[in-house]
Structure 1
């Protein structure tokens, strides 16, 4: 039996390798492509590179690809009618689930009561430590080379230095590196900084798993995907992660400062400099001993708690039926995987998402979909055989593809990554005095400050990072985003009183469509009304209020003080979500179809009021300052 399983696994791996070479035209990377560390997600510990038949019930599961889709739910595929019939008793409960019904309504509607979140108070909420592991803004390519340094094709591309001054996760780094030209011949030095020691060291372990030699890119990308988003890990993967942690943090208590230089598959290195005290929390988490059962109970007690039902169903009411079911499957299992994939191989808790005591540390409203480009997610899923309806299965394949491509780029290009954990202002001053030798010339081509401006203010942020901009690169820029730009005055805050005013005004409009008035007939119990109100920020013209915010931040004086200017035409990221980067200056609001809005804001979770800012050196010729944003 064991010999047969091994033979099937090897044959499947060889077929996948052949198909990959045929599809991408790649050369065989190395012998490591044929090696296995037993870290895969499938029941026989092989990697999952295509959607397998849904008849996965036990160790006699079908290993064939699935291509006959269930014509009712569109969430699962089978290799034959025989497998479809065999698996139906197990699939029936999902295929007939109320969430798949077009007329499904949240519990508060069917029970004729007001939703609990409408008048909820946080005063009685028990304290539970949480960490924003996943982020909530779509990842961006901070270079956008075709519109910047790469726009002049007669000029050879030079070296690049990138700074992510407050980056809790690695998505922006991945998107940026994956957007580099395949023939990029320069050196790229990246500084990845974050104050939270758990996030910093999680990123360091993820980078080591992806970039160090050993397992194939396929296996490394798969275990890293689960390490980022799954509550449990395959047994072999969990053991490998433990060995990686042991290797990285050996003798870390010897000095006050933790410093490491780790090899990658290519020419580059991964460096880390941080206070040694910052490593202790992660080591406590990874050395904990709670069982998987208690970890999953903690996760479900948080994500599926009775007092969270209305909030969860409020989100579900905005989703398409199949997407509701796909997301529900993820909440039940805690595993990011295709809908039909068996999870019997996931036997160990992912200790990176739980406290040392086994408490789920991901916030209740965190969503793994938020922060990813949904159109790209679904395209990746289709490429691997998944249906667009199985959105979480699509996300699994997309993240794995992105991580694999990232590891491949670092292997083939010249990229050094420096992981640090310091207060952003202190880090900037340390760079200025040469504390980090790799950046002693203090000349970054991009500085991504995240939403630091919301915590330290515009002038401080520019004072810290403006002097570190590469003045010899006319495309160099400091990139900011703000989530809290005087929001109470400028944006639409929902609540019972505001919603009642909206209904009152709309009901007075002659000729208002009957469908809209029927939505108001349900009053404050209407799920459609919540969707309308929650989307108002996307279509609110608040340019005047934002200009007031910039004046309150003394932007004119600040940019003049540090020899910078605010770009009127962005070259890296649009000024707000839903507007293309190359949109004309007069376009202030998104112009989206309902499907585009659903992908960007509902599934993708783009934060409606967030605004983006780009600063460049005063001598740059890329744009002209007109005194208005």
Structure 2
């Protein structure tokens, strides 16, 4: 391996490139990436692990699987502390509920006051490496240019990309026999994020073993996730195991496609509007971004928010770079719009609205139903006030937004932001019928503005409102030429 990296620090670029390629060819790992769920019999103190596949799930927790009963017995001493953890019991309750007292972390406040306080995080400021909305296919070929046109050339700009989730999702959603030329402009103003994207693309595009490349990239960045996990032997209860196989599957597909497809990546780390002006000035012509460049999709993330770049600045600078065809779209979303808009979120609404949202959640949340139906709390002091407190403690602030129709406040917000004059100035229009992404998370693409997120079952409700970090107040918008 040492000989493979000889010349990697050479001042000559060609020598460095050859050295880098040799290093990638020589890249190997002592522990190959998992193709299926391994046996859980791992003995850390002995530095030993079974190398067989896990085919028999632990009946007690379904979190781990073993190759045989012998391995399960051997591992039981370590596993039983997890398998028999009291937190797994359906009738588990925190001590403050069992003892019929107010929890010490609440203080003298009502359930509604608790929800409002909990909505502001103490450690939620600073550099954000991870995105806060799901990965999106920003081309959505079938609803726009049409799947039949598999050889169409496309230019896509991610002007405030954050991580690469949208890029991976978009390329993986193209037809497997896509034969057009795809140009991807990937930009983020934050240098560490831009560097990480460059590193990930380098790994996924150059390590010869695609499985190894995906595994390295996965560790670099850590109801489809569950399905992918099950296909590799993981059980739905093992959410992290499912997530590993899902991401590995997606990254392997991405690594394969960026080698097979004709894709050109243009990576930058610049302020979004400044980059648009630089393209229009002609200073990036030499790297394939001439002033005549036009994009079929321009994904602007949430820099539409007035706290960031703002809607007018984004549309004025990037609007001229939008292709002149019926499918060309500027896609973005508003994340913080509710800060300045009355009734933007339930927590700022009247007591009646908050009560209504809480009732909706308590009527559908299985955890809340069990608390309400429970006859014996283990302590006669645990009255119904404590029951209500326990129920509200189980409600995430995000869940309130998931059952709240914020379409009217959002429309009012856009009007106050001067949407009409901005559209007139830029000769763009706000699309009434979305063709790329839905207006809100978990609503169908063609839904009306007042549609609420859909959760088909209790498992879906729990996963999306308790496990994710979406605010459910996000509003996606699409702009096209008049």
Deviations 1:250-296 (A, max 9, x none): xxxxxxxxxxxxxxxxxxxxxxxxxxxxxxxxxxxxxxxxxxxxxxx
SS in 1 for 2:410: helix
CA distance in 2, matches of 1:138, 1:107: 36
Q: Which residue of 1 aligns with 2:235?
A: 387
Alignment of 1:209-288 (within 5 A): 209-214=203-208, 216-229=209-222
Residue matched to 1:73: 61
Question: Measured at CA, do residues 600 and 582 of structure 1 come closer, stay the same or move farther in structure 2, by a change above 3 Å?
Answer: farther
Counterpart check, 1:136 vs 2:136: no
| Residue 400 (structure 1) shift | 1.2
Q: Deviations over 1:358-398 (max 9, x none)?
A: xxxxxxxxxxxxxxxxx111111111111111001111111
SS at match of 1:490: coil
Hey, what's the Cα distance between the residues in 2 that align with 1:187 and 1:376? 28
Q: Given the superposition, is the C-alpha separation of residues 565 and 517 from structure 1 closer, same or farther in structure 2, using an over 3 Å criterion?
A: same
Q: 1:454-465 alignment to 2 at 5 Å?
A: 454=305, 455-465=308-318
Counterparts in 2 of 1:102-501, with a 5 A limit? 102-106=90-94, 109=97, 112-114=101-103, 116=105, 118=114, 130-150=126-146, 153=148, 155=149, 157-214=151-208, 216-229=209-222, 375-437=223-285, 438-440=288-290, 441-454=292-305, 455-471=308-324, 473-487=325-339, 489-494=342-347
Match of 1:608 among 447, 461, 472: 472
Gaps of 5+ in 1: 1-31, 230-374, 507-512, 619-629
C-alpha distance in 2 between matches for 1:460 and 1:380: 41
User: In 2, distance between residues paired with 1:173 and 1:102?
Assistant: 41
CA deviation string 1:168-215 (max 9, x = no partner)? 10000000011111111111111111111111111111111111144x
The answer on whether the counterparts of 1:578 and 1:600 sit within 8 Å (CA) in structure 2 is no
Secondary structure in structure 2 of the residue aligned to 1:188: strand
Higher RCO (CA < 8 A, seq sep 6+): 1
* Alpha-carbon shift at residue 529 of structure 1 (Å): 5.0
Q: Secondary structure at the match of 1:453?
A: coil
Residue 37 in structure 1 maps to residue 23 in structure 2: no
Give the structure 2 partner of residue 48 of structure 1: 34
Conservation of the 8 A alpha-carbon contact between 1:217 and 1:408: yes
Distance in structure 2 (CA, Å) of the matches to 1:575 and 1:124: 26
The 1:571–1:66 alpha-carbon spacing in structure 2 relative to 1, beyond 3 Å, is: same
Distance 1:399 1:546, change over 3 A: same
Corresponding position: 1:85 with 2:85: no
How far off its partner does 1:450 sit? Answer: 0.4
CA separation in 2, counterparts of 1:401 and 1:192? 23
Contact 1:430 1:436 in 2 (8 A): yes
| Residue in 2 that maps onto 1:599 | 463
TM-score with structure 1 setting the length: 0.62
Instruction: Go from structure 1 to structure 2 and tell me whether the alpha carbon gap of 1:115 and 1:135 turns closer, same or farther (over 3 Å shift).
Output: farther
8 Å contact kept, 2:228–2:242: yes
Whole-Å Cα distance in 2 between the matches of residues 45 and 388 of structure 1? 25
- Residues 545 and 90 of structure 1: is their aligned pair in 2 closer, same or farther, counting only changes over 3 Å? same
CA contact (8 A) 1:566 1:614 kept: yes
Task: Check the 8 A contact 2:27/2:207 in 1, yes or no.
Answer: no
Q: Please tell me whether the aligned partners of residues 301 and 331 of structure 2 are also in contact (alpha carbons under 8 angstroms).
A: yes
Q: CA deviation at 1:532?
A: 6.9
Aligned mates of 2:156, 2:300 — CA distance in 1 = 11
Q: Is the 8 A contact 1:51 1:384 kept in 2?
A: yes
Mark the runs of 5 or more structure 2 residues left unpaired by the alignment.
1-21, 107-113, 360-367, 375-383
Match of 2:52 in 1: 64
Which stretch of the first structure deviates more once superposed, 523-532 or 158-167? 523-532
In structure 1, the residue matched to 2:84 is 96
Kept in 2: contact 1:149–1:157 (CA 8 A): no
Q: Deviations over 1:515-573 (max 9, x none)?
A: 78669632674145541764221222222211111101111111121111010010011
Query: Any residues of structure 2 matched to 1:1-12 within 5 Å, and which?
Result: none
RMSD: 3.2
Q: Is contact 2:86–2:92 with CA below 8 Å preserved after alignment?
A: yes
Number of corresponding residues: 424
- Matching of residue 561 in structure 1 with residue 425 in structure 2: yes
Check the 8 A contact 1:114/1:525 in 2, yes or no.
Answer: no
> Are the equivalent residues in 2 in contact too, given 1:109–1:526 (CA < 8 A)?
yes
How far apart are residue 101 of structure 1 and its match? 1.8
